[in-house]
Amino acid sequence: MRPAVATVCSLDAALETVLEDYAAGHCDAVDLWLGHAEAFLETHEPAALAALLARHGIAAVAASFQGGLLTSQGEARREHWAHFEKRLALCRDLGIPVLVVSGDAFGPLGPQDLGRLSGSLAEAARRGADAGVRLALEFDSRASFPNNLQSALALVEDVGSPALGVCLDWFHFTVGPSKPLDLRLLSNETLAHVQLSDIADVPREMASDSDRILPGEGSSPPDDLLRRLGEIGYTGAVGVELHNPQLWRVPPRQFGEIAITALRRLLGQAGMGDPA
């Protein structure tokens, strides 16, 4: 299991600064926010990003996220899929093994929409396999479908491709309709990526991204999840991911060191240690 920190946790800083400061804080793996990467690539070649990661001894263990693939139509669909192809190529060229795909189907859905969603996942998985990149479907607790772990796993298993797994974001698991028993459905074959955060002292029904805090410091510690990861022998990455604008103002050097230390402590308490 590889502990990591998502660069979106320091969204206000430039990617060059984030990587340098995270490395100085003893973080050697990141979930690369694609907006960060694409801002860097406006003035640099992909080779420069690969060199930047290598210079700081950081592995990009996942990239987040690609949206718009599931139920979009017309010109918007063409644009999302063209963007997806570019991001797959970037992941391939940088050796990023996992690309998170957002389960962003919102609003009323009919049978035709559900068929389009399933077909889109199958096509995305095929393209991911061709690029040597595994896709991780992230269910969103606010979406119409899938908004829980059980439904996301059912979709992944229906596609039946080793190039498609599930991304389990603990925030969405906690605030949405997922149930603790759903964790029993996880396997090392279907779980592609894990993103951790805790929730500040607010009712779960009212929690938003701005209430995300470091895992283990709030009202929803991921003890049950970590226990299950140990049971299935999960070997992928576990990353701290906080979409919290208040924390974006924390200097990346300080945040990176605090976040990776908190994550390693949490994994150690769960008896998982740190393979790094």
pLDDT of 274 over the 70 cut: no
Which residue segments constitute the domains of the chain, with CATH numbers given? 2-269 (3.20.20.150)
**Phi, psi (deg, nearest 5) at residue 59:** -100, 135
How many angstroms separate the CA atoms of 253 and 267, rounded? 21
- Chain position carrying tokens 């389990």: 168
Q: What is the pLDDT of residues 74-127, one digit of tens each?
A: 999 999 999 999 999 999 999 999 999 999 999 888 888 899 999 999 999 999
Q: Which helix or strand (DSSP H or E) is residue 155 part of?
A: helix 149-159
How many angstroms separate the CA atoms of 28 and 56, rounded? 8
How many angstroms separate the CA atoms of 247 and 99, rounded? 24
* 3-class state of residue 211 by DSSP: helix
How confident is the model over 121-137, as a mean pLDDT?
98
Q: What is the pLDDT of residues 239-261, one digit of tens each?
A: 999 999 999 999 999 999 999 99
Q: Output the pLDDT for position 273.
A: 58
CB atoms within 10 A of CB 231: 13
Q: Output the pLDDT for position 18.
A: 98
Q: Which residues pair with 166 in a beta bridge?
A: 137, 191
Higher pLDDT, 272 or 104: 104
Q: Which residues pair with 199 in a beta bridge?
A: 212
* 3-class state of residue 203 by DSSP: coil
DSSP 209: G
Tokens of 248: 């974006």
At 201, is the pLDDT very low, low, confident or very high (cuts 50, 70, 90)?
confident
Mode of pairing for the β-strands spanning 212-213 and 198-199: antiparallel
Q: What is the pLDDT of residues 18-63, one digit of tens each?
A: 999 999 999 999 999 999 999 999 999 999 999 999 999 999 999 9
- Chain position carrying tokens 């973080």: 27
Closest by alpha carbon to 139, among 206, 189, 70? Answer: 70
DSSP string, 46-95: HHHHHHHHHHTT-EEEEEEEE-S-SS--HHHHHHHHHHHHHHHHHHHHHT
How confident is the model over 152-160, as a mean pLDDT?
97
How many angstroms separate the CA atoms of 245 and 112, rounded? 37
pLDDT of 136 over the 70 cut: yes
| Counts for the chain of helices (H) and strands (E), in that order | 10, 10
